[in-house]
Structure 1
Amino acid sequence: MAAESDSLDATVADMEKLEKIFAEEAIAEFFDNPTVPREEKTALIDEIAKSSELQPHTVNFLNVVIDNTRASLMPQIVREFETAYNALTGTEEAVVTSVVQLESQDLAQIATHVQNITGAANVRIKTRLDPELIAGFTVQYGRDSSNFIDMSVRKQIAEITSEFEMPSVNLEV
């Protein structure tokens, strides 16, 4: 439906919003709970739709998911939609993990680099934060995020540590 109405980009943005909303386990539990009256669920859907500025067809889809008590499947539904979107648009998805939120120009450079490596028509960047990286960033891309670029300080420390590790010597006489 999104492709037919020429709203693929807006719909994938809606799905990303829903992914963040439904990452909160309590949200899915609320919608999948059969004891919660439909009116309360409708009120929350309306609030989500308004605050997130969702497309009408996304709201209709969300209602179908809720009516069929499938809210707990929303993360998988979003992933499947994104896979279909990426295939339709020749888009490569890259997940950039860093200690702090990177600037948009840094993310644009990473996207260009991934695009050059993969030959994809487009690159969509998703960001995640991980304080254990110490500094720097990692990039996962490719089918099933199978390709990995590690520009983190954690990796550099591990490499230096492995260079200084000496094989154990048996000193028994």
Structure 2
Amino acid sequence: MAALQQSPVAFHPKSPPAARIRAKSLYQIPLRSSFSGNIRHLRLAGKSGLKLRPARHGGAAGSKMMDSASSSYASALADVAKSNGTLDATSADLEKVEKIFSEPQIFDFFVNPIIAVEKKREVIDDIASSSKLQPHVANFLNILIDMRRIDLINEIVKEFEIFYNKMTDTEMAVVSSVVKLDSQHLAQIAQGVQKLTGAKNVRIKTVINPSLVAGFTIRYGSSGSKLIDMSVKKQLDEIATQLDFSDIVGSLAT
């Protein structure tokens, strides 16, 4: 089974072609700061500006609004990050959040309606402290808890990545390999993807996939629609097809 190898690395043509690895660190930060900015489909409410409320629509429009809730929340956060100049830092924070909430026990804790909101806020405080989340990101998580929409966090992270890439003219490429690739190889791949796409920046996510046998694959484009397959598995499949060894390969696989 494929497994995430590391956090995304970023390639910027004006800087040296080196991979940038974002690591966790332990710091204490203040929480409950104001969350504001240009909010599309959302509006701020409450004296402290801490409440995000989806704009009300009726009938089919209301249903559509709920379906696009993840995109709306992600757009709101992206607007705030852009307005205060923290797009890169916010993207890095959400990578940490995504990893944390990928743990089933943590996700189940936050979506459990029986657990008190206050208790969930305490855990967010701990997460914010141990992961060095920016105040507006920690506050955003508390907003989702208050709105009982924390279950959307994984979808929101994916939607934020889309907004981030559009705002920064960044192409996302997913590189799958059998072993961990070094930063020099990742930088070369990033340069290649940049030439193919003409994007200003290229971000790479790496994935370990033992089934490739050797070599690597690169997925990029809208929703990973484009594929460059440099794996030994592809070569073996092509040889098996040409020599009609499919029955033998199938029997060995079972």
Secondary structure (helix, strand or coil) at the match of 1:138 reads strand
Q: C-alpha displacement at 1:70, in angstroms?
A: 2.0
* Counterpart code for 2:191: T
Secondary structure (helix, strand or coil) at the match of 2:81 reads coil
What corresponds to 1:47 in structure 2?
126
Q: Which piece of structure 1 moves more, 36-45 or 46-55?
A: 36-45
Secondary structure (helix, strand or coil) at the match of 1:120 reads coil
- Is 1:97–2:176 an aligned residue pair? yes
Quick one: percent identity of the two aligned structures?
55
What corresponds to 2:112 in structure 1?
33
The answer for unaligned runs of 5 or more in structure 2 is 1-79, 246-254
What corresponds to 1:110 in structure 2?
189
Q: C-alpha displacement at 1:69, in angstroms?
A: 2.3
The answer for unaligned runs of 5 or more in structure 1 is 167-173
CA distance in 2, matches of 1:97, 1:140: 8
Q: C-alpha displacement at 1:102, in angstroms?
A: 1.2
- Is 1:17–2:96 an aligned residue pair? yes
TM-score by length of 2: 0.63
CA distance in 2, matches of 1:8, 1:88: 9
CA distance in 1, matches of 2:178, 2:118: 42
What corresponds to 1:171 in structure 2?
none
Secondary structure (helix, strand or coil) at the match of 2:230 reads strand
What corresponds to 1:74 in structure 2?
153
Q: 1:83 aligns with which of 162, 165, 185?
A: 162
* Counterpart code for 1:35: I
Q: Is the 8 A contact 2:117 2:145 kept in 1?
A: no
- Is 1:154–2:219 an aligned residue pair? no
CA RMSD, 1 decimal: 1.5
Secondary structure (helix, strand or coil) at the match of 2:82 reads coil
What corresponds to 2:137 in structure 1?
58
Q: Which piece of structure 1 moves more, 96-105 or 77-86?
A: 96-105
- Is 1:142–2:190 an aligned residue pair? no
Q: C-alpha displacement at 1:39, in angstroms?
A: 3.2
* Counterpart code for 1:61: F
* Counterpart code for 1:108: A
Q: Per-residue displacement from partner, 1:11-70 (whole Å, max 9, x unpaired)?
A: 011111111111223222211112112332122211211221111111011111122222
Count residues in correspondence.
167
- Higher helix content, 1 or 2: 1
Q: Which piece of structure 1 moves more, 146-155 or 68-77?
A: 68-77
